[in-house]
Amino acid sequence: MSMKVREQIKSLLASKNVSMKDLCKLLSEKYGKEYSLSNFSGKLKRGSITYNEVLLIAEILGYKITFVDTEDI
């Protein structure tokens, strides 16, 4: 099974030297919604993070999400 969203986000944060606390602050600023560390961490643990939030995290960290046709691999 592939890496879960939680592990992927944590890995991306580590590669960019960004803490979860800093990410929550950036999300709050960009999304216009308060993201506390405990609530955000809970979302990751439960797997209830939305795709829009994942897209925003990717944008904040300087990534883009692409889809690859697995039949071409």
Tell me: the pLDDT tens digits for 53-69?
999 999 999 999 999 99
7-42 pLDDT, tens digit per residue, is: 999 999 999 999 999 999 999 998 888 999 999 999
Could you tell me the residue range of the domain that residue 20 belongs to?
Answer: 5-72
CB 4 within 8 A of CB 47: yes
Q: What is the DSSP string of 3-70?
A: PPHHHHHHHHHHHTT--HHHHHHHHHHHHSS---HHHHHHHHHHT---HHHHHHHHHHHT-------G
The CATH number for 61's domain is 1.10.260
Number of domain units in the chain: 1
pTM here is: 0.84
